[in-house]
Amino acid sequence: MFGLNAKDTRLFFIVIALVAFAPFLMNPFPTDSAMAQFNAGYPDLMQRFVIFGIFAIGFNILFGLTGYLSFGHAAFLGAGSYAAVWMLKLLTINVIPAIMISVIVAGVFALLIGFISLRRSGIYFSILTLAFAQMAFALAASVLTPITGGETGLQTALSDPRILDGARDAGGNIPAPGLWGMEMRDSAEWVVSGWQFTFNVGYYLAGLCMILAFYLSIRIFRSPFGMMLRAVKSNQQRMNYTGLNTRPYTLAAFVISGMYAGLAGGLMAAMDPLAGAERMQWTASGEVVLMTILGGAGTLIGPVLGAGFIKYFENIFSKINDNVLHQWFAFMPDGIEDFLVTIVHPFVGKGWHLTLGLMFMAVVIFLPGGLVEGGQRIARLFGRKKKAADKETDASKTPAE
């Protein structure tokens, strides 16, 4: 179905189901319960799940297939955001043209950087991409202030021309990004027996983009082009000895990966029409590297899992402060309660990076294939138990001699 084999089709439908039912899956606890702290079903966080999932999927096409580790992919994320905001300012508040131009601009930017960076490989390639990204960050933060807004960022304003639909909404305010009459911030809520589920227009638009991006990544992985990229990762030098020029393939992968990053940047601007230079910082590039490795580099769904995992920790665990910890351990005697809060405090709140770092180390040491490998091990474990149980059943049915 859809040109995919049975296994990929099942995986594709699993991703569709996860996106469609995320408002339910991300809110497993009633809103008035003590565990509601761990609910993640609000629109802003769900949008981040799918947007950074797109970012990681694109990065995985480059790193997972070719082995080229880029430390500068945030440059394309920022370029896509700036292009989208300018389209919202100049042309129309409709997000479709903004998303399209963000992909195009990021692709052109990736072509220029990739053409130079791919003259080197290994650590030299990584350093070149990092240098270009930091140059882009410096330009956006200071030199190109009239275009980027400098450190304050670029955002929509009442003075914007918006030649297709005007500068103001019906109330005379700055119009919010929308799609055919629906604003990205529009939400519908459903309250059922203490549970509150939110269905957001912006989330489902971003989710649809992620589904299409995931489908395209499957086709790339299973195509002859994807096989060529795997060969580059396996032994590029041997391929060069055969007379095959691998640079067009690696450059194409770099550009496609950059366009995915531009799509993510455009969606970020569509959800919140603001673009800042901080999206081009090296930390943003390092974050997508962590997402891909944590989920499983070279796998299809791994980057999506890694992106969701890290964004969940960033937004949920970072909000756990001492007051929340005291509520959790309130049933303990005062001395023990204070002791437990003191022990747990460095791992949550502002120290959530420590917890994430420890978990990342554990995954790298014990699960080199990331979260996907962990899931495969669990599946094989249950599979062996099932086979053993089936053998015992068959043995019991065999009549005695």
**Residues 262-306: tens digit of each pLDDT:** 999 999 999 988 898 888 888 888 889 999 999 888 888 999 999
Q: What share of the chain is helix, strand, coil (3-state, %, to 5)?
A: 70, 5, 25
Q: Is the pLDDT of residue 398 over 60?
A: no
| Residue 177 DSSP symbol | P
Percent of the chain with pLDDT over 70: 94
Q: What is the dihedral sign for C-alpha 257, 261, 262, 266?
A: positive
Helix (H, G, I), strand (E, B) or coil at 33: coil
Distance CA 216, CA 229 (A): 15
Please write the tens of the pLDDT for every residue from 136-176. 999 998 888 888 888 888 888 888 888 887 766 666 677 88
What confidence score (pLDDT) does residue 401 get?
Answer: 42
Q: What is the mean pLDDT of residues 50-70?
A: 94
Paired strand residues for 189: 198
What confidence score (pLDDT) does residue 208 get?
Answer: 95
Helix (H, G, I), strand (E, B) or coil at 197: strand
| Residue 77 DSSP symbol | H
Q: Is the pLDDT of residue 314 over 90?
A: no
The pTM of the full predicted model, rounded to 2 decimals, is 0.90
Q: What is the mean pLDDT of residues 211-236?
A: 92
Amino acid identity of 70?
Answer: S
What confidence score (pLDDT) does residue 189 get?
Answer: 87
Please report which confidence band the pLDDT of residue 393 belongs to, taking 50, 70 and 90 as the band edges.
Answer: low
Across all residues in the chain, what is the average pLDDT?
87
What confidence score (pLDDT) does residue 43 get?
Answer: 87
Asked if 301 contacts 39 with a C-beta cutoff of 8 angstroms, the reply is no
What confidence score (pLDDT) does residue 47 get?
Answer: 92
- What does the block give as tokens for 55? 């970012």
Q: H/E/C letters for each residue in 257-307?
A: HHHHHHHHHHHHHHHCCEECHHHHCHHHHHHHHHHHHHHCCCCCCHHHHHH
Q: 318 or 106, which is more confident?
A: 106
What confidence score (pLDDT) does residue 257 get?
Answer: 95
- What does the block give as tokens for 163? 């030649």
Please report which confidence band the pLDDT of residue 52 belongs to, taking 50, 70 and 90 as the band edges.
Answer: very high
Residue listed under structure tokens 């994320």: 77
